[in-house]
Structure 1
Amino acid sequence: MTEPLTETGMVPADYHAFWLVDRSSPAGIGEGVIPANGLVEQSVPGAVVVQTGVASGEVSVTVEVRDAAPASPDVGDWDEVAEFQ
C-alpha cells in the first residue's frame, strides 16, 4: 500500500470514550483502564480506547492505515495529539 487507506464515520462515545478495535482482538479490552495520557486510554495490538470531550453521543472519527509513519505529520489544527504503538 503506497497511499494510506482512509475511512471516516460516526462512532458512539460513552463515558467520555470510544474504542477502535480490530475484529480479531479479544473482548473486554479497555474495561476499567485509567487514562495514560488524557487522550489515549489504552492501546494494545489491534485495539485503542480514545478519550473524548463528549460524555455520550456520536463523534466523527477519521482513521488512516499506513505502511509506515508519515515523515512529518501536520497536526497544526488539532487540540490534542498522542503518539502510541
Structure 2
Amino acid sequence: VPIATACIAGVTAPVIGATPVSSIKDTSEYTAVIEWSPEDATFVGNTAYTATITITPKAGYTLTGVAEDFFTVDGATTANEANDG
C-alpha cells in the first residue's frame, strides 16, 4: 500500500538560537530520519538551512505510487521525486 500520510509532523522552522529538531516521530506507515545542513548546534542568523528527511516505509507500505512533491512540512518548501521518500 502506498504511504498516504503527506504531512511530516514535528519539524519546526529555524529560529535564531533554537536547537534543530533531531528526530521525527514514527507514524504507522513509516519511520523518518532528519539531518540539517549546515549542522549547527543552534540556528544562527544569516544562514540558509536545509533539512533532509529520509522516509523508510514500514512493513506493508511502499513509496511506489507516492507522487512527486507529495510530502509536506508546515512552513517549508518541500520536494521529493515520484516513488521516493
Please give the range of the TM-score, normalised by the shorter of the 2 chains.
Answer: under 0.3
Choose between structure 1 and 2: higher strand proportion: 1
TM-score (normalised: structure 2): 0.27
Q: TM-score, normalised by structure 1?
A: 0.27
